[in-house]
Structure 1
Amino acid sequence: MSKFFTAHKIYENVTQIGGLGGELCYLIEGEERALLIDGLTGIGSLKAFVRELTDLPVELVLTHGHVDHAGASFEYGVCRVNPADVALLYEHGDPARRYEFVTRGKPEGAFLPRMDDVVPLCAVRTLPVCDGDKFDLGGITLEAVAVPGHTKGTLAFLDRAHRTVYSGDACNPNTLLALPCSTTIETYKQSLLHFASFMDAFDVLYGGHGTGAVPKCIIDEALELCDEIMAGTDDQYPMAFLGRNFLYARSFTGDFKRRDGKLANIAYKKETIFNER
């Protein structure tokens, strides 16, 4: 029993691991080696926890460089990441920033880690991973799909054997754009069209937050929202989140559930809708 992590199998050879901030990562085991998709926040030893789950050699690959996905990079000392997000990995690696992520908003009586539990910042050997790259684990292969939007280097990983994508924050009920590291809505639409070209190969997405599988129709819904945002016909619902003011394409309840019952939502700013002409 870990104070820092939870784990449960979503498939026979795939374990979903949760961190203290509600962030998720995925351990996929093949016959010869294992792939750890994302590294949570880097509080507590994820490397030691993973070693309890598998004896296979493990390679860490990131969907993107944000604070809640790249923390274990500083424990492993090496990771695969899209080159567009390498600077972001270090920017979000500050231990105080990672500690704040998992402790903010904690209810009274909840377990709180110490600063000593935060994996310290260090130099990381970053190996490139790009659209189309494949990871042969022995009996199962994962394929990287580039989905720039939430960050410029965002990737999803296609698991054809399970008809599943491990999507990080690429497309979800609260897809945050208009961050300093994000693309425009116009570029994100093109990313989603590329993502959608793989939809015959998968049925569900497992993301970086929220433990359940999300049906692939969320991608088509997000494409519809991109068109509406660019046409100015979306809800333009104002909402502050994580200290930033956004417009959301669709109004929603307090738990980010759209009032019309659909799944996808996009947070953006008017000045980051279109590419520069």
Structure 2
Amino acid sequence: MVTIKDSWFTVHEIDDTTFAISEYGHWEKVHSYLLIGEEKAALIDTGLGIDNIKRITDQLTDLPIIVLTTHVHWDHIGSHGEYENLYVHTDEEDWLINGIQKLSIEQIRKDVSRDITIPTPATFNPETYKPFQGTPTGLLSDGGEINIGNRKLTIYHTPGHSPGHISILDNNNGYLFTGDLLYDETPIYAFFPTTNPIDLIESLEKISGIPHVAKVYGAHNTIGLHADILEEVKNAVRVLRENDLVRFGTGVHIFNGFSVQF
């Protein structure tokens, strides 16, 4: 059992080679995930950037780390600049390099600094906070596979929350990492100008059909949802389509275990 005490991050050991690195002091309750293989490790997202997540990953592994970006929103790329090998879906390469044109820095700074419940590090200044921008090492595509040494990861392109959003299946353990496509407690967002309700529903349908999923790990709120939630997702997709709700402005739709906001 790994025990790490830290002033900002909370580490949850899923198994002896899989860790959730959480930021509970912020309203987003963001989780990044470290998957350790025999040859290298994969870090799924790098958090808010309020503090440096590399301090944690350095304690968990000595292996080289590749960063797999579920999507290029500020709360998932905060510590990207600390790592050399960054991967993103091809549809968000431009966002990683140039930023999201429709999202103002003023709004980002407002969101990163609000509703913080624990002390932040002295290095964090919301007035100068700026999301990472840089050129990725490589691009990801639907169906791509990454082997980190006796551990195979499959990439699923799951747009809707953002155009290049991906989900990642750890084939060895049946862990499905869903980023901002599926989580509980707070609504899944598909109402921003850069979102697409139709794509989101198609992506939810897509992941509901992935075989041999044991647990679902979203990027916010509860760590580890039972795979039965994917049956609820199938039902939600059907209900939303039948009632002509898959479009902007129809509001929040609540299902068993999760909700969606258009």
Give the aligned partner of residue 18 of structure 1: 22
Q: What secondary structure does 1:172 align onto? A: coil
Structure 1 position 245, deviation (Å): 7.5
Identity among equivalent positions (%) equals: 24
- Structure 2 length normalisation: TM-score? 0.82
2:89 to 74, 82, 85: 82
Within a 5 Å distance, the mapping from 1:93-112 to structure 2 comes to 100-107=110-117, 110-112=118-120
State the distance in 1 between where 2:18 and 2:219 align. Answer: 15
State the distance in 1 between where 2:107 and 2:77 align. Answer: 12
2:203 to 181, 188, 191: 191
Structure 1 position 145, deviation (Å): 1.3
What per-residue deviation string (whole Å, max 9, x for no partner) do you get for residues 48-86 of structure 1? 321121100000011111111112223325411112223
Contact 1:146 / 1:156 at 8 angstroms: preserved in 2? yes
State the distance in 1 between where 2:159 and 2:87 align. Answer: 16
Q: Structure 1 residues 264 and 159 mapped into 2: Cα distance closer, same or farther (>3 Å)? A: same
One-letter amino acid of the structure 1 residue matched with residue 229 of structure 2: I
Structure 1 position 126, deviation (Å): 4.8
Structure 1 range deviating more: 130-139 or 218-227: 218-227
Give the aligned partner of residue 240 of structure 1: none
One-letter amino acid of the structure 1 residue matched with residue 88 of structure 2: V
State the distance in 2 between where 1:48 and 1:119 align. Answer: 20
What per-residue deviation string (whole Å, max 9, x for no partner) do you get for residues 211-254 of structure 1? 431122323323332332333377x9xxxxxxx9760112xxxx
Q: Structure 1 residues 81 and 131 mapped into 2: Cα distance closer, same or farther (>3 Å)? A: same
Q: Structure 1 residues 95 and 190 mapped into 2: Cα distance closer, same or farther (>3 Å)? A: closer
State the distance in 2 between where 1:122 and 1:265 align. Answer: 31
Residue 34 (str. 1) matches residue 41 (str. 2): yes
Structure 1 position 2, deviation (Å): 2.6
Segments of structure 1 that go 5 or more residues without pairing to the other structure are: 237-243, 251-257, 269-277
Within a 5 Å distance, the mapping from 1:29-178 to structure 2 comes to 29-76=36-83, 78-89=85-96, 90-91=99-100, 100-107=110-117, 110-113=118-121, 114-115=124-125, 121-173=132-184, 174-178=187-191
Q: Structure 1 residues 29 and 201 mapped into 2: Cα distance closer, same or farther (>3 Å)? A: same
Q: What secondary structure does 1:206 align onto? A: strand
One-letter amino acid of the structure 1 residue matched with residue 205 of structure 2: L
1:230 to 224, 230, 241: 241
RMSD: 2.8
Structure 1 position 195, deviation (Å): 1.7
State the distance in 2 between where 1:166 and 1:62 align. Answer: 11
State the distance in 2 between where 1:77 and 1:98 align. Answer: 25
Q: What secondary structure does 1:125 align onto? A: coil
One-letter amino acid of the structure 2 residue matched with residue 265 of structure 1: S
State the distance in 2 between where 1:56 and 1:106 align. Answer: 32
What per-residue deviation string (whole Å, max 9, x for no partner) do you get for residues 82-106 of structure 1? 1222344422998766554343123
One-letter amino acid of the structure 1 residue matched with residue 8 of structure 2: F
Residue 9 (str. 1) matches residue 29 (str. 2): no
Structure 1 position 191, deviation (Å): 2.1
What per-residue deviation string (whole Å, max 9, x for no partner) do you get for residues 136-191 of structure 1? 11121111112112112111111122121111111223211122222223x33332
Residue 264 (str. 1) matches residue 238 (str. 2): no
Contact 1:74 / 1:124 at 8 angstroms: preserved in 2? no
State the distance in 2 between where 1:60 and 1:136 align. Answer: 13
One-letter amino acid of the structure 1 residue matched with residue 237 of structure 2: C
Contact 1:146 / 1:195 at 8 angstroms: preserved in 2? no
Q: Structure 1 residues 119 and 44 mapped into 2: Cα distance closer, same or farther (>3 Å)? A: farther
Q: What secondary structure does 1:85 align onto? A: helix
What per-residue deviation string (whole Å, max 9, x for no partner) do you get for residues 111-145 of structure 1? 13431895774433352111111111112111111
Contact 1:129 / 1:144 at 8 angstroms: preserved in 2? yes
Structure 1 range deviating more: 89-98 or 6-15: 89-98
